[in-house]
Amino acid sequence: MAPHCDTMDGPVVSACKKALEKGNVYYVLPFVSKKAEDELIQGFNKTLKARRLGQDAAEVADLWFFETAVRLHREGEGAPYTGLKPAGLDWGPVVPKAEKDIEKGDPTETIEFLKSIVEEEVKKKFDKAMRLKDYDLSDVDAAREYTESMLHFVLSSHHLYKYVISGGEHL
């Protein structure tokens, strides 16, 4: 799945559109690293000039600016730029909830949703390990199946914990 920030309706392109509409690069600067500021500002200024040349030039310039901003954003994350993705992609249930909660200023809906999903998925992994736990010691295939299931439960729990307490890097 493409990163949310790579889409035509994602937060980076939305900030670009607002910056162009208002003539103020500061709407999009927070999405790029300090190191990329100059390149983004230069691109913004070139885009504003090109927009004065007519509708076709404006469309081409805007798209180029969106691509530049998203590329610089992804570089700041240490992630590759793989092009802009179309608007309207299905991000599943959590992205719209989280965005709505940001607008409301209340994270309750996202928190409750995530708690239920985490509980359900961790319980499934645990239950599978428990079903496979009492294997015949001479059945190496069954032992391997249990070991894989048990490790999946333990390690996925660990990775989830580590990601949740991490410094906020996003994918």
Do both 61 and 126 map to the same domain? no
* Residue 148 covered by a domain: yes
How far CA 5 is from CA of 27, 77, 91, 108, 169, in Å, comes to 15, 11, 11, 23, 13
Beta-bridged to residue 85, according to DSSP, are: 7
Give the residue-averaged pLDDT of 60-64: 98
User: How large a percentage of the chain has pLDDT more than 70?
Assistant: 96
* Residue 103 covered by a domain: yes
**Residue numbers of the domain that contains 136:** 94-164
Domain boundary among 51, 77, 103: 77
pLDDT band at residue 90, thresholds of 50, 70 and 90? confident
Q: Is it the case that residue 1 has pLDDT exceeding 60?
A: no
**Segment 143-161, tens digit of pLDDT:** 999 999 999 999 999 999 9
Which of 3, 29, 7 has the alpha carbon at shortest distance from 18? 29
Domains identified in the chain, total number: 2
* Sign, Cα dihedral of 33, 87, 62, 26: negative
* Residue 169 covered by a domain: no
pLDDT, position 103: 95
Instruction: DSSP letter for 139, please.
Output: -
Q: Is it the case that residue 2 has pLDDT exceeding 50?
A: no
